[in-house]
Each structure stands twice: as C-alpha cells, then as structure tokens.
A and B are shown apart, each in its own frame.
Chain A
Amino acid sequence: MLNASLKELSAALAQGKISSVELTKLFLDRIQKMGALNAFITVDAEKSLAQAGAADERIAKGDAKPLTGIPVAHKDIFVAKDWLTTCGSKILSNFVGPYDAHVIERFNAAGAVLLGKTNMDEFAMGSSSENSFYGPVRNPWSRDCVPGGSSGGSAAVIAARMAPAATGTDTGGSIRQPAALSGVSGLKPTYGLVSRYGMIAFASSLDQGGPIAKSAEDLALLLNVMVGFDARDSTSIERPAEDYTLDLDKPLSGLRIGVPKEHFGEGLSGDVGKAVEAALAQFEKLGAKRVSISLPSSGLSVPAYYVIAPAEASSNLSRFDGVRYGYRASGYRDLADMYRKTRAEGFGAEVRRRILIGTYVLSHGYYDAYYLKAQKIRRLIAQDFVEAFKQCDLVIGPTSPTVAFRIGAKAADPVKMYLNDIYTTPANLAGLPAMSIPCGFGNGKLPVGLHITGNYFAEARMLNAAHQYQKATDWHARRPAGIEP
C-alpha cells in the first residue's frame, strides 16, 4: 500500500480492500517511524482520522471521487482551518488557520484526507529546507543531506512513503528542486492555474502551488483537483476544466524536445549531466526528436529572480508585525521597538536577509537600477521561451546543477545556495509550467532530476511525456535504502 499509485489506492478503497481510516492509520504509523526525517511540522491523527471516517461514509454511499479517502500531506504554507499554519516560521508559530486555502477547499471537496502539514524553508525562502524554525528536513536517500527546498518536507514525505501525495509551492523552483534532490516527481503549473488564496505569499507574481508525488500519473490526478478558477485571487485564470490524465498514454512520436545549450554549460555537475543525457536518449528512443535551442537570457534569471522575489517578499511579509496575530516579542519600549524586536526574533536569518535585499532594491534611487531592470530581464526571459517554443514542444534539461548536498554545506554562502535555482527560476519568471521527474542517480547514489518546461497550459503534454518516460524506465519507482515497503 505504501508504494501503491493513487489509481491503485483509489481502486482498493472502492473495492473495500482497505478503508480510508485504515489507509490513514498506515501512513500515520509510517510518519511516526520516519520522525527522524523531520518532514512534518504538524500531525493531528484525530483530525485526519475524522476526515478519513467521513471519506469512508462517502465511499460507502457511492459518492466517491478519484481522491476520496486518500491521505494528502500539505506544505505548511497552505492555511487550513483549525490547523496550526506556521509557514516554517517562529512568527506564525502560534497561528491557527481561521479559514481554508482554496487548494485545501478543493482537496476537502474531493474527499481527500489532510494527513499533516509538512516542514519547509521559512516562508518558502530557501533551496534546502534548512531554514525552518522547526529544524532542517533530512533527505531520505542520505540523512546527512538536504532534501532540497523549500518544499523539502513534502518531497521527503513522498520519497520516504509517508504519504501517497503531497502539495508544495514553487516560487523559484521550490517544488521541482526538492523533487529532484529527493527522487520524486513534482509539477509547477502555469502561473494562475492554481489559486493563491490561502497560500501564504512569498513573491506573489512568481508563487504557484502544485503537486508532489511518486509519478507523473499521480501528478495528473492531483492537478485535476488543484486547478480551478477562484474569484478571490485576481491572478487566477478562468478557463474550461481540463482532465490532465486524458493524454497520458499518447505516443511521443513527433514530439520535439528542445535542449537549451545554456543549461549544459559551466556549473553543471558531470554526474547530473550524464543522467540527463541518458534521459534525452531515452526520449529519442520513444520517438521524440531532439532540437538544440538557445535561451540567451537564462544566465540572468538568478540575478533577476533575487531582485524581484525579495522585493515582493519585503512587502508581503510586512503584515507580520506582532500587532494582530502571530508572535510578539516581550519587553519592548515603544511601538518601533516592538516592531524591531518582534521581527528580529520572529524571522530567521534568510528571511531577514531577503527582506533587507527587497527593501533595498525598492528604495528611492535604487528602484530603476534594480527592480525595473529585473522586470525588463523578466520580459527577455519570457521572450526567450516564445522563440524556443517556435522550434520545440518541450524544453528539457537538468533540474538542479548537482545532486543533494550535505546539510550545512552551503548555509554560509547564500550566493552558492541561490545558484541551485539557475535552471528552475526561468519558468517562474516567464510564468510557464515546469516539472521535475527522477532520471537516474549521481554522486553518492543520490537522485538526479530531469526538468521539463512546457508552453503556457501545456501541462497535459508535459505529463504525457513524463508518463511515457516513466513507463519505459523505473527511476521513479526506486526507493531509498532502508525504506521498507
């Protein structure tokens, strides 16, 4: 059951082979066993089992939908009613959600069970899940290594089979990079497809929620639940509902795969490059055609990203001021002192750093040189993809320049850490859908991720390619040593 696909679990529930309560207990036990990974911030068996009980009734009534009764772990960035929702931060360490995020509403309506809230980099700022008030998440493949971030908890949960499905959010690679480093599949949809309502904002113009799971097929089922128009999010896109499972089995003959030369240059670790090359060869075997393309501005994506994201974050995080909710420092002299102490004590070092960067780049006299220039680069990066998609259907390359690194290895060097995002940030800046799937192992027998970028709303095409690849390979089915079924 722990290794079963969502389709298999759904069938087992429908056929009465297992109840949702039993399934939920199974995973709750598993979560307890894998506690050392520190992948969850909050687990509440009572609440989860109550939901599972309700799902069982629904199944008994014949009212089940594809995900009814299936436990789902949510990144602790999604506000859930009556659940502690911390965003990995001390400043929200006492914040109990008074409402459900749109994503949570959608899963509730589908009858899924909220299995717990997963650990993450504080306010989704990080590429290692080390920046959490609740301590670092450990990579199930090697516990001395990071699982990637910021959705590292959700990725580790899938890798260690602590949940059959999870959600994450991706601002600069926060779904895809941990999926790559933890050997699982993750997808960031086209900006606007998944409502941001109730998803605690990091950088509003880049943030997008998405699923993390064991396979492309599972991602498709999860995406069917997560995608949908929401009038409460002004950037939500209204378009007819799509069934992302429909195209999974289409053959790949004629598929044009663009391989950007910029993503295979300096900085890419040899072991990762080798695995990605092998995956490209596999796609050719499946009938796809390889096209060499160029994304000339992609080298500027990290600098542009680290101006725009902190700028928006510096403003988005202003609401955490100790006045209305959340942590408030004690022993302050006056209002300014209350703000200063609350925010200095309530935010971790990386969050403070990004607030400072963001405040700086928006300041009078610097706005044009940094923020406006970064916005121009953003348009150039989007334009690169417009040109690229004239020559190909999907852009494929590595997700991350290296496999998972050791906890603490890059903590002292933020720029080194930021360069982890070099292949993932362009999709956020352009608003394009992108995913990562396992494609082999590199140094230290750690997983390598394959990055697939599609054109706007081409999720079905991406999932189709990924599914065909996963049918022909078994990288996605591999499990970390010591992780028993």
Chain B
Amino acid sequence: MNWEIVIGLETHAQLSTASKMFSGASTAFGAEPNTQASAVDIALPGVLPVVNKGAVERAIRFGLAVGGEKVINRRSVFARKNYFYPDLPKGYQISQFELPIVKGGEIPIVSPSRGEIRIRLTRAHLEEDAGKSFHGEAFSAVPDYAVADLAVPDVPVVDESRDLRELSAIDFNRAGVPLLEIVSEPDMRSAEEAVAYAKALHSLVRWIDICDGNMQEGSFRCDANVSVRRPGEPLGTRCEIKNLNSFRFMERAIEFEAKRQIEILEGGGKVVQETRLYDSDRDETRSLRVKEEAHDYRYFPDPDLLPLEVSDEWIEEIKATMPELPEAKRKRYVSTLKISPATALQVTASHDKSEFFERSLGAADLGMFPTAPQDIALTIVGDLAGFLNEAGLDFAESPVTPEQLARLRTRVLDGSISGKSAKEVLSEMWAGKGDPDAIIAAKGLKQISDSGAIERIVDEVLAANAKQVEDFRAGKEKAFNSLVGRVMKATGGKANPAQVNEILKRKLAS
C-alpha cells in the first residue's frame, strides 16, 4: 500500500516598507551592523512600539489577493511571544496570535499530478523579525562591532582582553523588520505541490508589490510541516523543517524527510514530533529540538498597542489600487484571447512577464491576426525568456521592447518571414541591431509571397522535372516533397512554404 505525504507551509514574507514594523529605522538590506537599529529596535528602557501603517496596508493587499475583504479581520490584536535569546532585544517578539489580520483565503496552483487545485490558507499575520547572531569566527570577521557602539555609549559589553573569536555578536539591523507570516493548511500531497505553492505565493507577493521576494537576502523564507500517512487515515505526526531557502532545497528536504518518516514507520517505529533543520550540503534533515523542549511562549495581547482596527473605507481605498491578479488574468487570457491554458499559466508566472505580454498585444493588430496572442505569448515564454534567463535579466529589463516583439511576430503572421528566420531576427534584436523590419531588410530575409512570381518558378520547376511529376501522378507522395524542395531552392529559401504547397498542389491536380 502507498504512503501519502501531507505538507503544510509557513512562509515569512518581508514586507517592502522603507521603515520597520514598529520603529522609524530603515529596512534597507546590507548596511553596516547596527547602523539601522533605533532605540526601539534595541529595546532601550522606556521605548514603545508604533505600528507601521504601510505594513498593515501590505497585509490588507495580501488578504484582498487571497480571499477578498471577507478574509480581512476588521479587528486584529498584536500579541507578545515571550522567549529569551540575545538577538531578540525585548525578550519577546511582537506578533499576532489569536486574532491575525488575515484569516483564511487560498492560493490556486497547478499540481503536476492533480491539475488545478486550491491550497487553503489558515491565516496570515503581521510580526517583527529578530536580529542576527554571529558566533566565533563569524564574529571575528566583524571585529569593530560592539554593542557599545549603540545608543548607550558608556556601557562596553566587549572586554578588550578577550579573544574576539570566543565571543558572539549581534547585528540588530534586521530586528523589527516587518514580516507577514503566511500559514497554509496541510493541503499539499507531494514535494512538487509544495514547490508549486511556494512559487505561486512567491509570484503573488511580488505581483501585488508587498515583498521583493529576494530569497538570498531572506525576504522570503519557508518552513515545511511534513507528515506521512496511509491514504484515508488521519494525519500522521508531523515534523517541521526549517532553513528551506530555495525552491530546490525545499523539494529535496521534503523528499528526504518523507522518506525518513516512511522508513521509520515501515520499520515499526514512531515519528517523533520535532523541529528539524535541512542541511543542503549533506542533503538531509536533522533534529533541532523535540516537542518536549518546545518553548511555552506565554502569548498575551501586547498592552503597548491598541487592537488594530481596519475600516471598510480603508479596505475599499486599497482595493482600488490592486492589480488584476494572476488567476484572473490567466482565465481572461484563455477565454478571450484564446491562449492555451498551459501558455497562459506560463505567461502569468510573474507580473513583469504578463505586463510585457500585454504591452506586446497592444502593439499587435488582433483584428487582422487573431492568433497573435498565442503566438506572442509563446515567444515570450520561449525564446525571449531563454535570452533573459541566460543574461540574468527580468522582463522589465529586456533590451527587446514589447512593441518590437509584436512587430516581429506580425511579420511571421503576415507571411513576410518564416518562423525560422524570426529566431534569427530575434537574436539580432537582442544584440541591439534595431527594429525587426530593418534587420529583415538588411539580411534579405523577406519571403516571396507574390503568387505570380511563385507560379512562374513552379512552372519552371515542373517543366524541368518531368520525372518527378510523373512519379507523383503515379501515386508516389514523396515526389511532392522533392518538388517543394526544388521550388524552395530556386527561390533561395525565400518563398512562403505554405504558398508553394498550395500552388504546387493546384498545378499538379490540373
């Protein structure tokens, strides 16, 4: 009997505000340690948090995108999650517990095995990030750092006589950075589905402009809850896997973890509920702490902050600024532009890509060429995406403009050039050689679509190849291809092949 893998994901998306969740300090990445840590961020005595409205607005955008206004709690409550750790300056993290800002919602994904499915969200809540600890050698790389550099100049924490390599240091630049923690239901049944969900979420948060999605800088981080069971049985004991900082690692970590759990169960053992860390170097997960060691966080409503009230008017205002969402676009492309579902999915994978596509469409004559949307979309997700990938560029940075791309594909659709020539022209456009028409003219790639001219050449070829004509008429289909080849050769490959076929067929039938 088979095993079924059950996965739920917890994702931390860093909200793209200029200042922190509860202070005015900058959130810019990569600054010198502790240069972006205000009195509030390092929890000096007497300081108080003030909610960043921009972060709340971004959480509302997320709610609108995954479920509309009904999933946005008009009243949510910030709570303190209490635990001690040196990079947690207050000794508690301000988060949301019983009443999160977003409750419910769903993310549509395309599963490799189950097709179009919807992953339900449990909740999404606002919280602040912690600082970053450096230990031993890592610390010695930043020897200038000392807490004494912070706002309390008279309190040296680092004793000069000690070897810096024995010490730990903390950079509080990250402390207080706003996060939206997005928790899914355990709705995924394979590592591929988990990755499809994570990618869809990653695309969505950038699409609605609430997170830059930079996984290297930690702006988008996932933890996976994984369990296995026999189909139809209740949920098995789960393990939480941390440190999944790329989609590839996520897939491998989940696969490893599911295999590990299956082996335990098949060996007659029991899975222990625990938190595990994925080690990408060894491609394995290992135990971080078991449930018994888990903290009692002693959550309670933060008395420094009033309940977060969100008015219907504010939601309406934000709604008016929301872009068309990927799923709606995808459906519209299929129903009104007659694009294949697979291509529509690809072209809506990112906001940049679909923007590029729509700008291209604007430059094409859809009345004359009804198949242009599918043709253009395929070129975007195919050849152009290939060039951009290789160069490491986004669609927004493409040297080929949407308008140029539309003109190029129009030349194919109107028969001016062949599909094969189009690829050559695109390479030239990519290399900055200018407009497609200029390139076509310069390279002499224009097809002969003048039927009079083609007819004359066909007549000549037929007259000169009586043997092949005879063979064809005797039923040898292959002779037809040979005749096509000769016509193409006689035109230097520039004749429109469809026209050649049609004329040749007509002449041979007469």
Interface residue from B51, B84, B154 paired with A234 (Cβ < 8 Å):
B51
Give the distance to chain B from A319, nearest Cβ to Cβ, in Å.
4
- Taken residue by residue from 65 to 93, chain A's Cβ proximity to chain B (1 for < 8 Å, 0 otherwise) reads as 00000000000001100000101000010
Which residues on B sit within 8 Å (CB–CB) of A96?
152, 154
Which residues on A sit within 8 Å (CB–CB) of B298?
314-315, 359, 362-364, 367
Asked whether, in the complex, the Cβ of B300 is within 8 Å of the Cβ of A95, the reply is no
Tell which of A231, A320, A326, A364 has the most Cβ of chain B within 10 Å: A364
Asked whether, in the complex, the Cβ of A363 is within 8 Å of the Cβ of B296, the reply is yes
Kindly report which residue of chain B lies nearest to residue A365, judged by CB atoms: B296
Which residues on A sit within 8 Å (CB–CB) of B86?
321, 323, 335
Residue A324 CB within 8 A of the other chain: yes
Q: A318-B92, A319-B91 are in contact. Are A232 and B48 (CB under 8 A)?
A: yes
Asked whether, in the complex, the Cβ of B306 is within 8 Å of the Cβ of A234, the reply is yes
Asked whether, in the complex, the Cβ of A79 is within 8 Å of the Cβ of B45, the reply is yes
Interface residue from B42, B49, B155, B305 paired with A95 (Cβ < 8 Å):
B155
Asked whether, in the complex, the Cβ of A319 is within 8 Å of the Cβ of B43, the reply is yes
Asked whether, in the complex, the Cβ of B151 is within 8 Å of the Cβ of A98, the reply is yes
CA distance A312 to B232 in the complex (A): 46
Which residues on B sit within 8 Å (CB–CB) of A231?
50
CA distance A198 to B45 in the complex (A): 7
Which residues on A sit within 8 Å (CB–CB) of B157?
323-324, 328
Give the distance to chain A from B480, nearest Cβ to Cβ, in Å.
82
Asked whether, in the complex, the Cβ of A197 is within 8 Å of the Cβ of B45, the reply is no
A-contacting residues, B16-50, CB 8 Å: 39, 42-50
Which residues on A sit within 8 Å (CB–CB) of B154?
94, 96
Residue B202 CB within 8 A of the other chain: no
Asked whether, in the complex, the Cβ of A323 is within 8 Å of the Cβ of B170, the reply is yes
Asked whether, in the complex, the Cβ of A326 is within 8 Å of the Cβ of B51, the reply is no
Interface residue from A99, A315, A319 paired with B89 (Cβ < 8 Å):
A319
Interface residue from A198, A323, A335 paired with B147 (Cβ < 8 Å):
A323
Residue A196 CB within 8 A of the other chain: yes
Asked whether, in the complex, the Cβ of A319 is within 8 Å of the Cβ of B45, the reply is yes
Give the distance to chain B from A451, nearest Cβ to Cβ, in Å.
25
Kindly report which residue of chain A lies nearest to residue B298, judged by CB atoms: A362
Give the distance to chain A from B296, nearest Cβ to Cβ, in Å.
5
Which residues on B sit within 8 Å (CB–CB) of A205?
303
Asked whether, in the complex, the Cβ of A233 is within 8 Å of the Cβ of B48, the reply is yes
Residue A457 CB within 8 A of the other chain: no
Interface majority SS on B: helix, strand, loop or mixed? loop
Which residues on A sit within 8 Å (CB–CB) of B92?
315, 318
Kindly report which residue of chain B lies nearest to residue A77, judged by CB atoms: B46
Residue B304 CB within 8 A of the other chain: yes
Kindly report which residue of chain B lies nearest to residue A326, judged by CB atoms: B155
Which residues on A sit within 8 Å (CB–CB) of B84?
318, 321, 339
User: What size tier do the contact residues of chain A reach?
Assistant: 35 or more
CA distance A205 to B303 in the complex (A): 5
Total A-B Cβ pairs within 8 A: 113
Residue B150 CB within 8 A of the other chain: yes
Tell which of A235, A311, A321, A323 has the most Cβ of chain B within 10 Å: A323
Asked whether, in the complex, the Cβ of A99 is within 8 Å of the Cβ of B39, the reply is yes
Tell which of A197, A317, A318, A362 has the most Cβ of chain B within 10 Å: A318
A-contacting residues, B80-127, CB 8 Å: 80, 82, 84, 86, 89-92
CA distance A94 to B153 in the complex (A): 11
Give the distance to chain A from B149, nearest Cβ to Cβ, in Å.
11
Which residues on B sit within 8 Å (CB–CB) of A85?
45
CA distance A320 to B147 in the complex (A): 14
Q: A318-B82, A318-B92, A319-B89 are in contact. Are A92 and B45 (CB under 8 A)?
A: yes
Kindly report which residue of chain B lies nearest to residue A317, judged by CB atoms: B91
Which residues on B sit within 8 Å (CB–CB) of A196?
46, 48
CA distance A201 to B303 in the complex (A): 11
Give the distance to chain A from B173, nearest Cβ to Cβ, in Å.
14
Interface CB pairs A-B, < 8 A, 16? A98-B152, A99-B44, A198-B47, A200-B45, A201-B46, A232-B50, A234-B305, A314-B82, A315-B91, A315-B300, A318-B82, A321-B84, A324-B43, A325-B147, A362-B298, A364-B296
Interface residue ranges, A against B (CB under 8 Å): 78-79, 85, 87, 92, 94-96, 98-99, 101, 196-201, 203-205, 231-235, 311-312, 314-315, 317-321, 323-326, 328, 335, 339, 359, 362-364, 367, 371
Contacts A318-B90, A323-B170, A324-B150 supplied; 7 other A-B pairs, CB < 8 Å: A92-B45, A98-B39, A98-B151, A323-B147, A324-B152, A339-B84, A362-B300
Interface residue ranges, B against A (CB under 8 Å): 39, 42-51, 80, 82, 84, 86, 89-92, 147, 150-155, 157, 170, 296, 298-300, 303-306
Instruction: Pick the 6 closest A-B CB pairs, nearest first.
Output: A318-B91, A205-B303, A204-B303, A362-B298, A198-B46, A319-B43
